[in-house]
Amino acid sequence: AAPAPPTPAATPAPSGGKIIASPLAWTVAKEKGLDLSSIAIVGTGPDGRVIADDVREYIPMVATTTDAIAAAPVAAAAPVLSPIVHDGFTDYPLNESSIATANLLSHSKQTIPHYYLTVDVTLDSLLSLRSTLNSALGEDAQISLNDLLIKASACAMKSCPSANASWMGDSVRMYDSVDVNVIMGSGDSLYSPLVQGVDAKGVKSISDELSSNLKQIEEGTVEGENFGAVGTVTVMNLGMYGIKSCAPIIRAPQAVALALGAAENRVVPKEDGEGDDLYETNVVLTATLSCDHRVVDGAVGAQFLSAFKSAVEKPETLLL
């Protein structure tokens, strides 16, 4: 028997031209308030046809340019669903938010050509800056290492604008503002609230906003558009779990995602070591950047990580 014809690869729906979509896709789009002819959406049906699931999984980009793009719905506190006990196993139902996140990540992994770059970053100077800043603040207003790393990632994005972009099907859109989704919580309480304009904000302002978001998550009072909107980069820090490195899934329509590992003492060669004094102990973490190869090639990805490393190891530049 002849082999079955290959399944067509998912292709982006054309932007500004005629959109090929199923009738159900048009219906779902109308219910969601979307105009398929004016958005860049990936069609996973035959020959790039947009199907209903593509529309359901579509997440609008938060308005970061003069274009008017609708924000995603505001996240609400997830209801607690009762486990269903069977003979020999138990099913734990997922809430709508968890299902939507799973679908989005599956779609992103299947349609975005990921590749990964990793760099080790020395934290000693950044930790020294944190101590200096915190000495001028009250005990209840301390700046964390993560706050400074978020700022450093935004500075790196600003110095490497080609990474602060999205694949639009027939063009690459570059954004003026660096808007960061920061992964917080775990399980059904996993959120990625958006901090807008991180490149233009001071570290204390960033710290206050992140603390407010975390408090809402812990108290189960999640509200505000920032909990549903998608920015231009996602940052996750797994250092608190002792994880050395992680290769994150890029959240469409972003082009990069940055994962930060645990800060640990490592013995490294001294730059100017002589005789028996050849090594020293530094605090180091491993940073991994996931890149969309359609938007960010290897040179651009390397440029971003180089800028991030420079911002962390010369933290006085964060104050400029």
Which residues form the catalytic set? Answer: 293, 297
Give the residue among 315, 286, 264, 261 at the shortest CA–CA distance from 130. 315
CA 69 vs CA 197, 198, 228, 279: distances in Å: 17, 20, 13, 53
Report how far residue 245's alpha carbon sits from residue 119's, in angstroms, rounded to the nearest whole number: 10
* Structural contact between residues 97 and 217, judged by C-beta atoms closer than 8 angstroms: no
Instruction: Tell me which amino acid residue 308 is.
Output: F
Task: Please list, in sequence order, all residues whose beta carbon lies within 8 angstroms of the beta carbon of residue 263, skipping any fewer than 6 positions away.
Answer: 123, 145, 239, 283, 284, 285
* Structural contact between residues 264 and 245, judged by C-beta atoms closer than 8 angstroms: no
Report how far residue 118's alpha carbon sits from residue 284's, in angstroms, rounded to the nearest whole number: 13
Other CB atoms within 10 A of residue 48 CB: 19
